[in-house]
Amino acid sequence: MNDDLLALAARIDRTNELLHRMLAEVAKTPSTHAIFVDAGYLYAAVGRLAAGTEDRRSFDLDAEGLIDALIDKARTIFADSRLLRVYWYDGARRRIHTAEQQSIAELPDVKVRLGNLNANNQQKGVDSLIRTDLESLARHRAISDAALIGGDEDLVSAVEAAQGYGARVHLWGIEAPEGRNQAEPLLWEVDSQRTFDLDFFKPYVSRRAAATYDAPTGARPSREDVRFVGAQIAAKWLASRGRESLQELLHSHPYLPGSVDQDLLVEAEGLLQYSMRGQADLRRALRDGFWEHLRAQY
């Protein structure tokens, strides 16, 4: 019996020795962090704060400078940790990079992930991309800390998944001129919160000069001419966005989403070389031509 006790004690000592070695190795392993940016949230919140608008077309964002600033901030916060990379999540038609997204993707230590854009210019699939990356990196112990820039409640599941594998998730937000721009359930779930103010973002945002529209100078086009141009633009719209976006857009008939309507007007004025601002009858003809072509294709 004494022999059995001695053997058991030896096994316990051996187990403790292995455990101490493992803990020592873990202690020597450097911490690693990554930054996850929901670009849709970033552009909307920064635009509203620094430029007074959420419309991306109304301001320029120095993405490279801002990413460098975020990396520097992370170095300060996670002082004993190394950066894995920055993950930049955005939407694009058919997941094809825009020129701006391409330039961001070419930056060192930056990975661009693209979801889709629907007919209303709303991101689709971005939250699931964030969850996939967060969960995978945490599961494989590739990161110990994640700085998440976003505000959607749908990100709660991504946070929970990463935390389930031992990673800490830190929510970074953007100051809201009024109220909040991050969902409360998301704020409750994360390990820490931090908000950046206007002074942090101001160097990287510049408002574009407002377009001016002079009174029409050329001959006023006929309603039929305008209707034909509307149909032309509809054909281009369908070719670039596809039938899935068409089905979504048709649900809003006879009303065009604001972003689509604005793009339609700007392109038509360029083709006609005539401003239709204040020309309600021509704008109706333009929309009619646009809708008629799309509905004929369904």
Bigger pLDDT: 159 or 119? 159
Check: CATH 3.40.50.1010 for 31-207? yes
Residue 209: the pLDDT is 67
Residue 141: the pLDDT is 94
Q: How much is the average pLDDT of 105-122? A: 82
Q: How much of the chain exceeds pLDDT 70, in percent? A: 87
Bigger pLDDT: 16 or 273? 273
Span 201-246, pLDDT tens digits: 999 998 876 554 454 556 788 888 888 988 888 888 888 877 788 7
Q: How much is the average pLDDT of 28-57? A: 88
Q: What's the token pair of residue 42?
A: 């970033």
> Would the pTM count as exceeding 0.85?
no
Span 153-176, pLDDT tens digits: 999 999 999 999 999 999 999 999
Residue 261: the pLDDT is 80
Bigger pLDDT: 37 or 115? 37
Residue 233: the pLDDT is 87
pLDDT band per the 50, 70, 90 thresholds, residue 40: very high
Residue located via tokens 């096994």: 11
CA distance 230 to 268: 7
pLDDT band per the 50, 70, 90 thresholds, residue 23: low
Residue 26: the pLDDT is 47
DSSP states of the chain as a string?
-HHHHHHHHHHHHHHHHHHHHHHHHHHHSPEEEEEEEEHHHHHHHHIIIIIS---GGGEEE-HHHHHHHHHHHHHHHTTTEEEEEEEEEEEEGGGPPPHHHHHHHTSTTEEEEEEEE-TTS-EESHHHHHHHHHHHHHHTT--SEEEEE---GGGHHHHHHHHHTT-EEEEEEE--SSS-SS-HHHHHHSSEEEEE-HHHHGGGEEEPPPP--PPP-SPPPPHHHHHHHHHHHHHHHHHHHHHHHHHHHHTTTTSPPHHHHHHHHHHHHHHHT---TT-HHHHHHHHHHHHHHHHHH-
Residue 279: the pLDDT is 78
| Most confident by average pLDDT, 70-79, 93-102, 123-132 | 70-79
CA distance 207 to 294: 34
Residue 53: count other Cβ atoms within 10 Å of its Cβ.
14
The ranges assigned to domains in the chain are: 31-207, 223-297
Q: What's the token pair of residue 21?
A: 């070695």
Closest CA to 168 of 88, 81, 237: 81
Span 69-83, pLDDT tens digits: 999 999 999 998 999
Listed range (24-33, 51-60, 139-148, 255-264) with the worst mean pLDDT? 24-33
Cβ-contact 144, 33 below 8 angstroms: yes
